[in-house]
């Protein structure tokens, strides 16, 4: 039997790093939304998450500080539009974090589980 702090089974491959910056649900959703595209407009992300401008802004700033996203602003018809993009570092961090989550989910599968 392994201790409560043990995260791996004996002989198992080490788990990829668990990213505390990406893990909170809003930040994970932001990164997941940005992964398949070059960039998304701030209002598109805000509306998809169902959060206020200030909540999204705070989460984007945390991701920016980690180097995971960039935000650029441009003027269009005298209105400023902000675009959010996932950086190469952010893509790498998201992929590693998702792999870690998959490995954790795999631990929940019982041997011989027909859902495997």
The model's pLDDT over 20-72, given as tens digits with 9 standing for 90+, comes to 999 999 999 999 999 999 999 999 999 999 999 999 999 999 999 999 999 99
Strands 69-76 and 79-86, by their bridges, are antiparallel
The continuous run of DSSP H or E covering 40 comes out as: strand 40-41
pLDDT one-digit tens code per residue, 12-33: 556 556 789 999 999 999 999 9
Domains and CATH numbers, the chain: 25-104 (1.10.10.10)
Residue 11 gets the label, from left (phi > 0), alpha (psi -120 to 50) or beta, of left
Q: What is the pTM of this model?
A: 0.78
pLDDT grade, residue 76 (50/70/90)? Answer: confident
**15 Cα distance to chain centroid:** 17
* Spatial distance between the Cα atoms of 30 and 65, rounded to a whole number of angstroms: 15
Q: Which residue has the tokens 């998809």?
A: 48
């Amino acid at each position: 039997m392994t201790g409560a702090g043990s995260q791996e089974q004996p002989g198992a491959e080490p788990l990829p790093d668990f990213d505390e910056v990406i893990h909170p649900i809003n930040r994970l959703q932001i990164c997941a939304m940005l992964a398949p595209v070059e960039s998304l407009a701030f209002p598109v992300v805000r509306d998809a998450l169902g959060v206020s401008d200030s909540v999204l802004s705070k989460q984007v700033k945390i991701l920016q500080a980690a180097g995971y996203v960039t935000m650029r602003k441009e003027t269009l018809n005298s209105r400023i539009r902000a675009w959010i993009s996932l950086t190469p570092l952010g893509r790498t961090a998201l992929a590693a974090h998702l792999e870690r989550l998959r490995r954790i989910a795999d631990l929940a599968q019982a041997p011989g589980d027909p859902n495997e």
